[in-house]
């Protein structure tokens, strides 16, 4: 395990006044939700089955366990992490688009954690459940600075959903080459990656970031999930051949979990002040020198069936993921987080209605027993 580091001496205390709602936020939220519905409606009309408006394609669906560490400092022992414990956990690996594409269209990777059996005061809309979701991608910064900028990008995605997959594959190949050149000179382009220039790396070797802040009990934090076991760190940066099959990322994950397991650390980065670590700028990367990521829990997954049609039916059709599934102690913060709430709920309702399958929060993971 990573050697312990010291948390900041004076982390920022959470106050609702630090996170005011913008005047036109409700309208922007409605516009985003409607745009996501257009994406879902297009893929449903073409395929006859309702899928997610974003992160539609799953590459891995794993049963795991999250263990909260003992003897955490008081500033870290907050919310879900207030006391040691073990929780059944679901891991869903995905890529960003809202249509099911050949992996040769290479976009950023996503990871959603759903922790079960969590007790505490619930977020509004999450009453009656006992889950805590963490929704992550493999980059530390969100691409859009404002809700309106995010909406503009989403409208572009909606206009190209389920169109010209061959052209997308060709463009992705060009963008991957351009991104490789940018990285050769020490840079990295989030825009190139989001458009299809993501390097074709193994999803299990990636570090995943929640990107946007949440309450950490009395404080404020961002979260990351880092592979730490040797069998996972060996996959960091490993390239996957995307040419032989349309599901190369999934097949690589399934092959790994056929005989190996994996262990990750869930880490929290505490906000020390909202001026240097703003809540209202989702593109801002908080300084790790000022406040390092500190381990609060370990996630362990044993060898298993990494993906199957049965698991996909249970999770991709029957479950939803949202940062708004959880505790008040981990309340999502900032305008982008608030804008996600209606959009995710609307997308889940659309899937449930069109597929005639209830999308609901689980209290056990028996549905993943193959």
Residues whose CB falls within 8 Å of the CB of residue 256, separated by 6 or more in sequence, listed in order:
204, 231, 235, 262, 306
| Six token digits for residue 278 | 């703003």
Question: Has this prediction a pTM greater than 0.95?
Answer: no
How many residues comprise the chain? 370
CATH code for the part of the protein at 16-359: 2.40.180.10
The predicted structure's pLDDT at residue 122: 98
- Among all chains, which residue has been given the structure tokens 């593109």? 283
- Which helix or strand (DSSP H or E) is residue 341 part of? helix 335-355
Question: What is the DSSP code (8-state) at residue 14?
Answer: P
Task: Share the mean pLDDT of the chain.
Answer: 88
* Sites in the chain below the pLDDT cut of 70: 1-5, 9, 161-197
Query: Residue 170 — φ and ψ, nearest 5°?
Result: -65, -45
335-357 tens-digit pLDDT: 999 999 999 999 999 999 999 99
160-184 tens-digit pLDDT: 766 544 444 444 443 334 334 333 3
- Which helix or strand (DSSP H or E) is residue 175 part of? helix 165-184
191-202 tens-digit pLDDT: 434 444 688 999
The predicted structure's pLDDT at residue 161: 67
User: Nearest 5°: CA angle at 242, between 238 and 244?
Assistant: 125
Question: Rounded distance, CA 195 to CA 208, Å?
Answer: 19
């Amino acid at each position: 395990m990573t050697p312990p580091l010291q948390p900041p001496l004076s982390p920022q205390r959470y106050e609702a006044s630090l996170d005011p709602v913008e005047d036109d936020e409700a309208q922007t939220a409605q516009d985003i939700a409607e745009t996501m519905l257009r994406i879902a409606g297009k893929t449903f009309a073409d395929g006859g089955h309702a899928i997610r408006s974003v992160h539609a394609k799953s590459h891995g669906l794993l049963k795991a366990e999250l263990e909260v560490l003992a003897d955490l400092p008081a500033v870290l022992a907050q919310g879900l992490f207030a006391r040691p414990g073990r929780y059944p956990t679901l891991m869903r690996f995905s890529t960003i688009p809202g249509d099911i594409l050949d992996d040769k269209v290479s976009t950023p990777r996503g990871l959603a954690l759903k922790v079960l059996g969590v007790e505490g005061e619930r977020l509004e809309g999450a009453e009656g459940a006992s889950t805590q979701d963490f929704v992550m991608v493999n980059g530390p910064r969100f691409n859009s600075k404002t809700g309106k900028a995010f909406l503009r990008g989403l409208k572009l995605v909606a206009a190209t959903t389920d169109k010209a997959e061959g052209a997308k594959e060709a463009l992705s190949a060009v963008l991957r080459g351009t991104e490789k050149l940018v990285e050769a000179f020490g840079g990295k382009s989030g825009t190139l990656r989001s458009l299809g220039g993501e390097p074709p790396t193994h999803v299990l070797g990636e570090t995943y970031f929640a990107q946007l802040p949440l309450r950490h009990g009395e404080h404020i934090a961002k979260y990351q999930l880092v592979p730490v076991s040797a069998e996972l760190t060996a996959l960091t940066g490993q390239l996957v051949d995307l040419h032989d099959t349309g599901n190369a990322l999934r097949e690589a994950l399934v092959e790994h979990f056929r005989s190996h397991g994996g262990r990750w650390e869930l880490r929290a980065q505490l906000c020390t002040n909202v001026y240097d670590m703003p809540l209202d700028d989702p593109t801002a990367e908080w300084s790790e020198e000022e406040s390092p990521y500190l381990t609060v829990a370990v996630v362990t997954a044993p060898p298993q069936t990494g993906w199957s049609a049965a698991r996909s039916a249970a999770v991709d059709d029957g479950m939803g993921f949202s940062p708004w599934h959880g505790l008040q102690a981990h309340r999502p913060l900032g305008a982008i987080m608030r804008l996600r709430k209606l959009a995710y709920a609307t997308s889940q309702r659309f899937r449930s209605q069109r597929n005639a399958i209830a999308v609901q929060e689980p209290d056990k993971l028996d549905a993943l027993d193959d």
